[in-house]
Amino acid sequence: MIQTNADSASSAASSPVHVKKLGLWGVVMVVYFAVAGGAFGIEPLIAASAPGMSIILILLTPFIYSIPTVLMVTELSTAMPVAGGYYAWVKRALGPFAGFMQGWSSWLYGVVIAASFGVLFADYTSSFLKLAFGITVLDTNPLLHWLVVAALIVAFVLLNIRGAHAVGDSSKLFAAMVFAPFIVMIVMAALKWGADPKPFLGPITPPGAGLLGAFGVGLFVVLYNFLGWDSVSTVLEEIKDPLKVIPRAMRLAVPLVVLAYLLPVLAGLSSGVQWTTWGDTAKFPELATAIGGKWLGVWVALGGMFCAAGLFNAMIMSNSRIPATLAADKYLPAFMTARHPRYGTPVVSIILCAVIYSALATSAFVALAVTTVMLYGVSLLLQFAALIALRIKEPRMRRPFKIAGGLSGVLIISALPITITLIAIYSTYVSEGPGFLKLAGGLLLGGPVMFLVTRAIFKRGAPDVHVPIEYEEAVL
């Protein structure tokens, strides 16, 4: 029998049973797959911005976007290691409406990007079948393509029901399956280039494009591949000693993600395959074939399947906790708080999200990816606003990890990713047209409506779950 805790203020914060929790390397792997999972998905950047600008973006983005975001997530998650993560932070800092909009936008982003990872898995499965056996049926039969995604969803719903520890353990396996072919590809490319060195980092920009144009066009692609540093916050109660583990995990995950993109791209550029053909999201198997032969291409394609599976696995874990947290605050029906009697996971919420992923998996990967830019951008802006507001409203709040420089330091750190996010949204509008704004904007505008509707139907004046904070002891 499934247990529900809808009437308990701590329903989202505690499990009905004792379960294994994520340790350091489990968190590192979950963060790695929530953000990257491998170099797969970065390929369109090269065709959009040319090799030179692409390398600049891969090296620059961590400093102007990833590291500031990691600092924000680390400060807030160690100050408030509570269920719901960023939803709770924003609610405490900016009030119930802002908290709801944080939950709404981040849940929508997670739903869309999880579906895109499912599509990516089917794309790489098709690439593997073509290279290994000459089978092209997944490219020509949409129903079979969707069934592959559906099978992935069922498998990882069952795994996620077993809890964050199971997700962390499986992520370690997926990482090994992704790293191995890329390491071989990188070593072989370096040896071949060393025997016959030729320049491969030019041009800086595509023909006819200026520096700003190449930067702006590529920014959307690179940001899409660097999103998700905050995903682990929704399972803070499932992490062993989060005050110590989160900072250490982030320090390990940032360079791991950067190298996971940079080194395979450099290897691929040295392969001799024309950079203008890199628009396909499943390009690395072809590049690996050019470097080491068919066997390496098949291996990399198999790694792409594990990469997409790992990305999907991590996103289910993060995204499925949000409806359960909203339900604990009585913005959704009480049965959404139902937890598995053995594993303590929000089983109803996980299944609901899986149904939605299945419906969205009929869309193209690029269409899903473009929509995430604006949805995630709004979610991230609210988190940085919460960081700033809490420094002003709660200066004595205990912060085991604290961004240096006081309020000025926080404002500087926040300005970088906020500016980059706004530039990326504008650049996507210029390159893709207003279509993505209509879809993403419509979804976001549904937030205030849902806030009013759910308050009237489910909440009916009930108070929100309290978000506790600790204070530093006064200095006498």
127: domain CATH number is: 1.20.1740.10
Closest CA to 328 of 118, 27, 99: 99
Q: How confident is the model at residue 8 (pLDDT cuts 50, 70, 90)?
A: very low
Share of the chain above pLDDT 90, in %: 46
Q: Rounded mean pLDDT of 384-391?
A: 96
Q: What is the pLDDT of residues 119-165, one digit of tens each?
A: 888 888 888 898 888 898 888 898 998 999 899 999 999 999 988 88
CA 52 remoteness from chain centre: 26
Give the residue ranges of DSSP H helices in 36-163.
43-61, 67-79, 86-94, 96-133, 137-140, 142-161
Compute φ and ψ for 12, nearest 5 degrees. Answer: -85, -15
HSE at residue 406, side-chain half, CA atoms within 13 A, is 1
Residue 5 belongs to a domain: no
Least confident of 114-118, 136-140, 416-420: 114-118
What pLDDT sits at residue 347?
Answer: 92
Q: Rounded mean pLDDT of 231-253?
A: 89
Q: Rounded mean pLDDT of 34-62?
A: 90
Contact 245, 27 (CB under 8 A): yes
What pLDDT sits at residue 420?
Answer: 86
Residue 473 belongs to a domain: no
**pTM of the full structure:** 0.85
Residue 15 belongs to a domain: no
Q: Rounded mean pLDDT of 90-109?
A: 93
Burial class (CB within 10 angstroms; exposed 0-12, middle 13-18, buried 19+) of 40 = buried
Closest CA to 79 of 400, 392, 382: 400
Quote the domain boundaries for residue 185: 24-458
What pLDDT sits at residue 311?
Answer: 87
Q: What whole-number distance in Å separates Cα of residue 192 and Cα of residue 198? A: 10
Taking the CA atoms of 326, 332, 334 and 337 in sequence, report the sign of the dihedral they define.
Answer: negative
Q: What whole-number distance in Å separates Cα of residue 64 and Cα of residue 196? A: 36
Q: How confident is the model at residue 88 (pLDDT cuts 50, 70, 90)?
A: very high
Residue 158 belongs to a domain: yes
Residue 2 belongs to a domain: no
HSE at residue 199, side-chain half, CA atoms within 13 A, is 6
Residue 391 belongs to a domain: yes
Three-state SS at 177: helix
Q: Rounded mean pLDDT of 284-291?
A: 93
Residue 252 belongs to a domain: yes
Residue 468 belongs to a domain: no
Number of independent structural domains in the chain? 1
Q: Rounded mean pLDDT of 278-307?
A: 89
Name the most confidently modeled range: 237-251, 369-383, 419-433: 237-251
Contact 327, 336 (CB under 8 A): yes
Q: What is the pLDDT of residues 182-223, one digit of tens each?
A: 999 999 999 999 998 888 888 999 988 888 878 887 887 888
What pLDDT sits at residue 367?
Answer: 59
Q: What whole-number distance in Å separates Cα of residue 374 and Cα of residue 386? A: 19
Tokens of 16: 């009905």
What pLDDT sits at residue 370?
Answer: 65
Q: Each residue of 61-95: b (16+ CB within 10 Å) or e?
A: bbeebbbbbbbbbbbbbbbbbbbbbbbbbbbbbbe
Taking the CA atoms of 89, 20, 356 and 324 in sequence, report the sign of the dihedral they define.
Answer: negative
Q: What does R_g of the chain's alpha carbons equal in angstroms?
A: 22
Q: What whole-number distance in Å separates Cα of residue 290 and Cα of residue 300? A: 12
Question: DSSP per residue over 23-35, as a string?
Answer: -HHHHHHHHHHHH
Whether the bond into 207 is cis, omega within 30 of 0 = no
Q: Is the pLDDT of residue 112 over 60?
A: yes
Least confident of 41-50, 114-123, 130-139, 254-263: 114-123
Instruction: For helices 435-454 and 96-133, give the axis angle rounded to 10 degrees.
Output: 130
What pLDDT sits at residue 16?
Answer: 43
Q: Is the pLDDT of residue 339 over 80?
A: yes
Contact 119, 368 (CB under 8 A): yes
Secondary structure element (H or E) that encloses residue 378, with its range:
helix 365-393
Q: Is the pLDDT of residue 284 over 80?
A: yes
State which amino acid sits at residue 266: L
Closest CA to 269 of 2, 6, 23, 55: 55
Q: What whole-number distance in Å separates Cα of residue 276 and Cα of residue 4? A: 54
